[in-house]
Structure 1
Amino acid sequence: MKSSAYTLGVVTCRLAGRTPPFSETKYLRDLTVEGDSAGIQLIIFPPMNVNWKTRRVIAWRYHHPFRRWLKEIHPVPQLIYDRCYYLDTNHYLTYKPYIDRLKQDPSVHLLGKPLGGKLRTHHILHKSKRLSPYLLPTTKLSSTKDLISGMKQYTSVLIKPNGGSHGRGVAAITPQGQSFRVRGRSRSNRPFHLILHSGRSLTNWVGRFIGHTPYIIQPFLNLRSMDSCPFDIRILVQKNGEGRWVTTGTAVRIGNPGSLTSNLHGGGHAESTQQFLNKNYSPEKVKDIWQSIQFLSKYVPIQIEQEHGRLLELGMDVGVDRQGNVWLLEVNSKPGRSVFLQTGERDVRRQSVRLPIQYALTLFQRLTGGSL
């Protein structure tokens, strides 16, 4: 184990009633071990723990020889990795002033700039002629008029929060005669299924469901496997120690039959991509799907980064319809890694932890040389 020449901060959202008071403890523990071997110590803290007068922060550090998290006081680190997950708009707004304060400090550099919501990411990607064929039409859901217009154009529509993740607050709406079938997951990530018997009851329900949260609307694609389970493919792309984008791994996330989403937080499970595609598509289709995955892995990070600013990693969620058409469903700048533990690809998961440390080390060396 090398002595720590650098300190990497990790900002997280505070979880009351837990010790340590944040999520992703396994990932952050593993990241600490990787950091130690590279001469980087990790400290984890919610952004409101920074005292800007003293430029010190109350943080947690994992001491892996003793397998214990200890609370310590450290100087504000130069390099900070943002792992804050927001449950909804109000949660995001609570943290925003503190994150903004970190962004505005000239001595602090964020390792990966968070994306600005699904709609903004869609607009960035849509500027690329080679990427736009993979994108679903996506617009802001501002009024009843937007909902009616979307249903006239696409029949079935999907509504989801512009921010947020893990499938929370997502609903698919499908007309059935004079009624409407609505399936989805609540803000607390519980599945629901209801029938609304008029357009008025639908618009009233949608108004209550979305509240004041910014939402988007898209056509709803029934992306299901041959045995009727919803699925998507998670692609993890990261920067390596040379600052170049590489594809760390892919995995298929499969939801339960009847579920709207495939998200692991909603009770889904994961499977090897090759194994899943071989079971569900012809060899010719599998070849085409892999080519599309490789294409998106190469060009999506480049397009987003040139418009948005420096990034560290991206999780891309891809859907494949029964005809083998590939759709880019979502891009996330704070991807998880547990999917690779479920598929048994522990070497991929290990690499997914190692690469952020390698890239951070490169940035620390540039900071020392004054070239960041």
Structure 2
Amino acid sequence: MAIQRVASKWEKTKALNKKDHILPYIPETRKYSLAHLQDMLGAYNMVYIKPDCGTYGIGVMCVEKWKDDADENAALSYKLKFETQTETYPSIEALHQTIKKKIGQKTYLLQKGISLLTHRRRKFDIRALVQKTPQKTWETTAFIGRIAAPNKIVTNHHSGGTVLPIEDLLGPYLTPAQFNNLYKEMKALGVSAASQLSRKYPRLKEIGLDLAIDENFRVWILEVNTKPALFPFKWLQDKGIYKKVRRYAVAYGRLKSAK
């Protein structure tokens, strides 16, 4: 039986939002429209705009509200960031016109922006890998930190991002006890998210959970990938982690060999 893959970020978000204890981890997400853009920018200083069906961070944009603090009469404006470019717009309506040209007829989502922690002034998030075990239970088997390339708004490897162990990224911010508590929280969240999604998609065998840690050390689920890359975990110093990842992947049919 084929492993189930789910392309729509919207459908995955709706499924996760049905679980009360997962709901606080989900940033507010809506389908893109001018009215929703106005509402979200009224509520938040930063909003991400991403394709409903898309990979590798392609097509992702970010809008930030901006005002020149040096000029007390300056009007509020909006900075649109995409790839390595930034454009400024005087109104939400003007911003919307540009966004609509970029997205065309495709379905896009709006998501509350999370202020990510940084490593050497570059933003990072965390990929958690959650897999079905040979005993048919869910387990969060691995974590890896993903650092955005300079001036990029996404952390994906295909967009120039690099990886580091989460201990290296979070160590400067947390005591060992705090790190341990956050680690346990993320592991439990991975299992909860996979269990909830598998209620709607029973042939799921693995998910990649993109997690953000904000400046208050709160955990957020940015996105769920149902065909997560496995190769980044081979770069972890603990080679036993990647061996387990491969062994589980062989057991549920993703890979043919555990070598």
What does the per-residue CA deviation read over 1:54-108, in whole Å, with 9 as the maximum and x for residues that have no partner? Answer: xxxxxxxxxxxxxxxxxxxxxxxxxxxxxxxxxxxxxxxxxxxxxxxxxxxxxxx
Q: TM-score, normalised by structure 1?
A: 0.62
Aligned residue in 2 for 1:184: 82
Matched, 1:204 2:97: yes
What's the CA shift for 1:353?
2.6
- Where does residue 70 of structure 2 map in the other structure? none
In the TM superposition, residue 215 of structure 1 has moved relative to its aligned partner by 0.6
What is the CA distance between 1:233 and its match in structure 2? 0.8
Deviation at 1:320, TM superposition (A): 0.3
Deviations 1:309-356 (A, max 9, x none): 221111111110111101111111100022223434544334323322
Structure 1 partner of 2:244: 351
Q: 1:279 offset after TM fit, Å? A: 1.9
Q: Deviations over 1:94-151 (max 9, x none)?
A: xxxxxxxxxxxxxxx32x211251111111111111111111111111x211111111
Q: Please state if 1:154 is matched with 2:47.
A: no
Q: Give the match for residue 137 of structure 1.
A: 28
Q: What is the CA–CA distance in structure 1 between the aligned matches of 2:240 and 2:184, rounded to whole Å?
A: 23
Match runs of 1:216-365 below 5 Å: 216-225=109-118, 227-360=120-253
Name the structure 2 match of 1:21: none
**TM score, norm. by length of structure 2:** 0.88
SS of the equivalent of 1:123 reads helix
- Residue 115 of structure 1 aligns with an amino acid whose one-letter code is V
Matched AA of 2:79: R
Secondary structure of the structure 2 residue equivalent to 1:279: coil
SS in 2 for 1:238: strand
Partner of 1:97: none
CA distance in 2, matches of 1:327, 1:343: 23
Match of 2:60 among 170, 186, 205: 170
Give how far 1:245 is off.
Answer: 1.7
Check 1:294–1:199 CA distance in 2 against 1; reply closer, same or farther (3 A cut). closer
Select which of 114, 119, 125 maps to 2:10.
119
Moved more, 311-320 or 241-250: 241-250
The 8 Å contact of residues 232 and 317 in structure 1, kept in 2 or not, is answered as yes
Aligned with 1:182: secondary structure? strand
Question: Please, which moves more after superposition, 132-141 or 175-184?
Answer: 175-184
- How many aligned positions are there? 246
Please report how far the alpha carbon of residue 268 of structure 1 lies from its aligned counterpart in structure 2 after TM superposition: 1.2
CA change 1:231–1:296 in 2 (3 A) is same
Give the secondary-structure state (helix, strand or coil) at the position aligned to 2:50: strand
Give the share of equivalent positions with the same residue, in percent.
26
Verify the 8 A CA contact 1:253 1:339 in the aligned structure 2: no
**In the alignment, residue 126 of structure 1 is paired with which amino acid?**
N
* Amino acid corresponding to residue 264 of structure 1 in structure 2: H
SS in 2 for 1:243: coil
Q: Give, as a single letter, the amino acid of the residue that structure 2 aligns with 1:359.
A: Y
Partner of 2:72: none
The code of the aligned residue for 1:331 comes to: V
Q: CA deviation at 1:246?
A: 2.2
The structure with higher relative contact order (CA 8 Å, sep 6+) is 2
Q: Is the 8 A contact 1:226 1:280 kept in 2?
A: no
Where structure 2 has 5 or more consecutive residues not aligned to the other structure, the ranges are 68-75, 255-259
CA–CA separation in structure 1 for the residues paired with 2:6 and 2:104: 23
Aligned in 2, Cα 1:294/1:124: closer, same or farther, shift over 3 Å? same
Write the distance in 1 (CA, Å) between the matches of 2:77 and 2:147.
Answer: 29
